[in-house]
Chain A
Amino acid sequence: MIDSDIQRAVDRALAQSGAEPGPLLEILHSVQNELGHVPAAAVPLIAAALNLSRAEVHGVVSFYHHFRGAAPGTTVVRLCRAEACQSMNAGALEAHATRRLGVPCGETTPDGRVTLEAVYCLGNCACAPSMMLNGELHGRVTPARFDELVRP
């Protein structure tokens, strides 16, 4: 990623955040929405603009599971691991997905196409197991349905 892209994304995020107090999370969301992740190079830019230390900004980025430090694949698959999905065999679905993609949760396939992530509850617990595919929610996902939806 080119530094000027990062600078632009940070500038835009700062401009959007306006005068509201405590805007750091909003800014990080905005940067990640634009770039797919929060690059390490964005941290000092945000810190300087908000008069925070780099450690404070890094501390926030690393605290929240949603913020990524590395660019994700073209497709992002988020599998629910929480209890309601477990009761409907989410464990087997995750095993199937990792076998199929060849990477565990938290990693991207070597060709950069699919990132597999774990998530703890998507609020679709009456239609378990659930997964989010590029922001789209899917319920009652069987291994066969997974293969239809996710092409490695």
Chain B
Amino acid sequence: MNAVTVWVPKDAGALSLGAEAVARGIEAGARSRGRDVRVKRNGSRGLYWLEPLVEVETAAGRVAYGPVTPADVTKLLDAGLLDGAAHALRLGDVAQLPWLASQQRLTGARLGIIDPADLDDYIAHGGYAGLNVALGLAPADVVKVVTDSGLRGRGGAAFPTGVKWRTVHDQKAAQKYIACNADEGDSGTFSDRMIMEGDPFALIEGMTIAAMAVGATHGFIYLRVEYPHAALALAKALAVARARGYLGRNLRESGHDFDIAVRLGAGAYICGEETSMLESLEGRRGEVRVRPPLPAIKGLFGQPTVVNNVITLASVPVILARGAAFYQDFGTGRSRGTIPLQLAGNVQRGGLIERAFGLTVRELVYDYGGGSATGRPVRAVQIGGPLGAYLPESEFDTPLDYEALAAKNALLGHGGVVVFDDTVDMARMARYALEFCAIESCGKCTPCRIGSTRGVELVDRILKSSNGTRDADLALLEELCDTMFNGSLCGLGGLTPFPVRSALRHFRQDFLRH
């Protein structure tokens, strides 16, 4: 009998729930039953409530089981897991589950499907089709495709990617760089991690296309140290790409040279800010630089540099492969294409939901998420990480796109949505936002460095006050937010007022009841 192929994710989230023990258990159990099994490791498909999600290749396609704990393995093998047999945990074809079937996976098309270390698997699933197109175009035309696609930076700032590339393309310099921002520090976000662990060649291909387009020969991936599994997956994929001629000198006989090095961060949230990241890449404290000059003109080591987030770069291959019109056909208004939303926190069915822009918070939290994990009413969501606003249930019909959220004094950021049930104390969350800013401030500008600490003290005073100063302190907190918003050098101090003010606006009673 031929060996049965079983897929067990090597994604950090799946591993955190026992996927390694599940993989070993299936191998050992199959051996003791005299069955020939080949356990292959994929990334996660992003249905985290079903992880570890095991898939068995059968004549009828891949049959999924989940969530499979190490303790389930023996019973599953007894029930006929290796033949795709019936079991309470059997899910069938996972791609047919409404949760996944209703998605529009462009950037994350291969997640959980391929072996992330297998270049042939990547190519068999459409990989490197984008680079092949790019190599047949003039660099300026590659930039034009990206511009026409409407792609905007998915790291949070939503700056048009093509405009940034054009600026770097137009610079005359002996050396240009591609710097990938993989310092995914926002709570509630993990799409960068999923791509790097589950489809690292997509990022490598995107960076290579960027390099061709602007004339760069060196690339860096600035990866947060909290992502050791991504570091391993990237190291493997980079080695394969080099060995197979997809990186290095004269790659794909194109006449272009390009290679990528991974640099580890060291636990500083601020290094997700692009100029601070460049400082850190140069081996210094991650202190924010004053702009101008823009990194596109004077970036890494003073040279023109494309700084893009992982998802932005990993979205480029599909845009080149299928054309600007195809990509830009998804979405709404000025938010074109798809956005990999990450649903997290107190939610029943959390994970990766990639859809055209325009899904509402309500659809995300209830249709995909199934409400809170605790079963209690959902009270708030925080969108866009620790610098994002909190929205109450009454605002849940807001579409998740850049402009609609801006109109609600909120921001999409990197697309993370964290759900809170009705036990959340929003005054505490506002205090936390300021405390986090104080811990992570680089210290360069005063509104952020001092304002955050004064803010924590103010919230503490408001929560304690029974002496009639509360109203004055609440007004002072508003004023402090105003100073931080208008006076900070970068988004850390500048956007910390978003969670604070949204908590004050929508959940004022939480500040008054202590």
Contact = CB atoms under 8 A, between A and B. Distances in A.
Contacts of A132: 226
A124 B190 contact: yes
Main secondary structure of the interface of B (DSSP, over half): mixed
Given A26-B263, A121-B185, A125-B416, A21 B343 contact: no
Contacts of A128: 344-346
A121 B12 CA distance: 13
Contact of B264 (A25, A59, A84, A125): A25
A138 B187 contact: no
Interface in A80-129: 82-88, 119-128
Interface string B368-397: 000001000000001000100000000000
A85 to B, nearest CB: 7
Nearest to A64: B266
A11 B294 CA distance: 37
A24, A65, A84, A123 interface centre (most CB from chain B within 10 Å): A123
Contact of A25 (B193, B227, B263): B263
B165 to A, nearest CB: 24
Contacts of A65: 266-268
Interface residues of B, number: 61
A127 B51 contact: yes
Contacts of B436: 82, 120
B418 interface: yes
B281 to A, nearest CB: 7
B116 interface: no
Contact of B187 (A26, A28, A83): A83
B267 A119 contact: yes
Contacts of B227: 123
A61 B314 CA distance: 32
B431 to A, nearest CB: 12
Given A59-B285, A120-B440, A125-B190, A139 B267 contact: no
A123 B226 contact: yes
Given A84-B418, A119-B267, A130 B190 contact: no
Interface string B1-44: 00000000000110111000000000000000000000000000
A8 interface: no
A128 B372 CA distance: 13
Contact of A85 (B187, B229, B286, B342): B187
Contact of A83 (B51, B386, B440): B386
B420 interface: yes
A23 B418 CA distance: 37
Contacts of B266: 25, 28-29, 64-67
Contacts of A23: 283
Contacts of A25: 263-266, 280, 283
A40 interface: no
Given A26-B263, A138-B16, A139-B17, A84 B268 contact: no
Contacts of A150: none
B418 A125 contact: yes
A36 to B, nearest CB: 15
Interface in B324-381: 342-347, 350-351, 373
Contacts of A123: 12-13, 184, 189-190, 192-193, 226-227
Contact of A87 (B48, B283, B284, B418): B418
A63 B282 contact: no
B226 A122 contact: yes
Contacts of A64: 265-268, 286
Contact of B190 (A66, A120, A126): A126
B86 interface: no
A125 B16 contact: no
B186 interface: yes
A67 B184 CA distance: 19
B17 A66 contact: no
B188 interface: yes
B263 A66 contact: no
Nearest to A20: B261
A111 B21 CA distance: 31
B48 A84 contact: no
Interface of A: 20-26, 28-29, 59-60, 63-67, 82-88, 119-128, 130, 132, 135-140
Interface of B: 12-13, 15-17, 48-49, 51, 184-190, 192-193, 225-229, 261, 263-269, 280-286, 301, 342-347, 350-351, 373, 382, 386, 416, 418-421, 424, 429, 432, 436, 439-440, 442
16 contacts: A20-B261, A26-B264, A66-B225, A66-B265, A82-B187, A82-B436, A84-B187, A85-B187, A88-B373, A119-B226, A120-B269, A126-B343, A137-B12, A137-B229, A138-B16, A139-B13
Given A25-B283, A119-B267, 10 more contacts: A23-B283, A25-B263, A60-B283, A66-B266, A83-B418, A120-B185, A124-B190, A125-B345, A127-B16, A127-B350
